[in-house]
Amino acid sequence: MRALARFTHLLIGLDRGLGMSDIVACPTCQSMLRLPEQASTIRCPKCKTVLNVGPPIPASDVAPVPLPFAKPKPKPTAGQSLAKPKVKRAVLVDEVAEQEQTEASAKAEHRRNVTAAVEEMEERDEIQLEKFERLQDLMVHSRRAVVLFTWAARCQMVAMAIVLCVLLAFMTSVLFEVVSAMQGRGSIGVGSILGATVFAALPLAAILAVLSTALTGYGMVSVALGTKRARYLGYIGCVVCALHVVFVILQAAKAMIGLATREFEVNASDPLWVQIQPVFDLFGMVTDLPLLSEQPTRLFWRHPVSYFGIFAAVFEFTRFVIVGVIAQNYAEDGKATELGYRSYKAIGRIFYVTMLAGVARLVAAIAFDWARADEAFIVILGLGAHAIITFSTYLCLVLSLLGMANALNDTVEVMEASRFAAEVENLEV
């Protein structure tokens, strides 16, 4: 009945002059909808379904609707349905395999690179370890050298202290002898003074000085066998120590010959200080630095000059300078720059003390050495001035050597292979 009503309604629309193309049926509720003019879409007022009513599709583009009695296409079998996916799967398997092979190759290459880097690092570590062990062996010699220098400075300091005491006794005896001679109690004989004062302790001081020189020479040999940076200083130090020993022997022999021939007798026509100057030549067996400060005065007054003593003093001071430079290098390698400066500063004190003593000696000679032996007041003043200069010189040298020995002793504490290894030059042994 419903279909008949729809057909009747369609006929009525035709009678009114409407075309079949102006009325469409809703595919959802089957309501008949009238199309507005030039409309591309329309909505069903009943079920709200939107219909596309655009220009008609050409018949050639519309796929044929299969009839109910048409023979359906045969379905693909299991083998046919898996044929194409099998090809795609094979391609995917090949791609995955290729990717895995590439990743495996990259991992193997990375592993080889890491292994090579580790082996190279281990090889470098082995080389550095060998160099470090070699440096430790060399440090034994370097530490021994500084220890020897420390004891050499202490021995020299004690020897100078003994000479200082001898000088005090000697100058006191000379002063009493001068006073006695001026009062007419007897002549002044330096030989009688020497027996009780000088020769009592001078051999001990000379032995300590020889021991100091031997320790310094052995230390220079140890420096030459030690770390690379200071080796050349060890070689130079060995030569300087040898020359110093030669000139000390010549100077001491000359002084002993003068003593044997009694050249120390006092002559009233010469200043007293000039007459006892040969006594101080004997002290060159201990140290020649104070003797070096006397030479300008001897040149000024045209008195006998101890040329052997001058060369011995020069080489003695050069020996101290080399020891100070070695200690400074070792302290800097041990990351203790201030300690190295202390070692070298002691050498500076020795230099200034020697130079100032020479100037003071020359001034005192100009002021007092012109006096005759019978001018008691001037003679005693001159003797006291020279005694003070000599005593002060030895005292300052003793204090300078004490500071040098302490600095050397502290340098030994920082001489460790772990500190020295930071310097690449020390590892290149």
Q: Worst-scoring range by mean pLDDT, 86-95, 149-158, 199-208, 218-227?
A: 86-95
pLDDT exceeds 50 at position 9: no
173 or 2: which carries more pLDDT confidence? 173
**Per-residue pLDDT reduced to its tens digit, 288-347:** 888 777 777 777 767 677 788 888 889 999 999 999 999 888 888 888 878 878 877 888
Q: Which residues of 289-323 are buried (b: 16+ CB within 10 A; e: fewer)?
A: bbbbbbbebbeebebeebebbbbbbbbbbbbbbbb
pLDDT > 90: what percent of the chain?
15
Tell the residue number behind the tokens 């349905």, with chain if given: 81
Tell the residue number behind the tokens 């101080």, with chain if given: 280
- Report the pLDDT averaged over residues 387-413: 89
Number of helices and strands in the chain (H, E) = 14, 4
pLDDT exceeds 80 at position 211: yes
Whether the Cβ atoms of residue 229 and residue 426 lie closer than 8 Å to each other: yes
pLDDT at 241: 94
Q: Worst-scoring range by mean pLDDT, 145-159, 172-186, 367-381?
A: 172-186
- Report the pLDDT averaged over residues 272-278: 61
Task: Show me where the domains of the chain are located.
Answer: 2-52, 125-427
60 or 405: which carries more pLDDT confidence? 405
pLDDT exceeds 90 at position 75: no
pTM summary value: 0.65
Q: How confident is the model at residue 429 (pLDDT cuts 50, 70, 90)?
A: very low
Q: What does the mean pLDDT of the chain come to?
A: 75
Residue 226's Cβ-count burial label (10 Å; 0-12, 13-18, 19+) is buried
29 or 393: which carries more pLDDT confidence? 393
* Amino acid letter, residue 344: Y
337: left (phi over 0), alpha (psi -120 to 50) or beta: alpha
* Amino acid letter, residue 167: L
Q: How confident is the model at residue 152 (pLDDT cuts 50, 70, 90)?
A: very high
pLDDT exceeds 60 at position 213: yes
